[in-house]
Amino acid sequence: MTESEIETAADILAEARRSGTQIEALPVTPSSVAEAHEIQDRVAALVGEPIGAFKAGAPPDGEPTRGLIEARMVRTSPAHMSVAEVPHLGVEGEVAFRFTRDMPARAAPYTREEIAQSVAVLPAIEVVSSRFREPTSRPRLEQLADCGINGGLVLGPEMADWSHLDLPNLHITFVVNGETVLERKGGHPTDDPLAAAIALANMWRDAGGLKAGHIVTTGSWTGMPFLKPGDRCVVRFEKLGEAEIVFVG
Q: What is the pLDDT of residues 207-242, one digit of tens each?
A: 889 999 999 999 999 999 999 999 999 999 999 999
| Beta-bridge partners for 157 | none
**Is pLDDT above 90 for 15?**
yes
Is 80 inside any structural domain?
A: yes
Is 7 inside any structural domain?
A: no
**How long is the chain?**
249
Residue 193 DSSP label? H
232 is in which domain, residue-wise?
51-248
Q: In what order do the strands lie in the sheet with 119-128?
A: 65-70, 51-57, 215-220, 90-99, 119-128, 150-155, 74-76
Is 12 inside any structural domain?
A: no
Is 200 inside any structural domain?
A: yes
User: Can you give the CATH number for the domain in which 99 is found?
Assistant: 3.90.850.10
Domains contained in the chain, number? 1
Is 66 inside any structural domain?
A: yes
Spatial distance between the Cα atoms of 65 and 149, rounded to a whole number of angstroms = 13
Cβ–Cβ under 8 Å, residues 64 and 52 = no
Q: What is the pLDDT of residues 130-188, one digit of tens each?
A: 999 999 999 999 999 999 999 999 999 999 999 999 999 999 999 999 999 999 999 99
CB atoms within 10 A of CB 105: 12
Please name the residues in contact with 94: beta carbons below 8 A apart, sequence gap of 6 or more. Answer: 123, 124, 125, 126, 193, 217, 218, 219, 220, 221, 235
Q: What is the pLDDT of residues 53-97, one digit of tens each?
A: 999 999 998 999 999 999 999 999 999 999 999 999 999 999 999
Kindly report the pTM of this predicted structure. Answer: 0.95
Is 10 inside any structural domain?
A: no
User: Peptide bond preceding 78: is omega within 30 degrees of 0, i.e. cis?
Assistant: yes
Is 5 inside any structural domain?
A: no
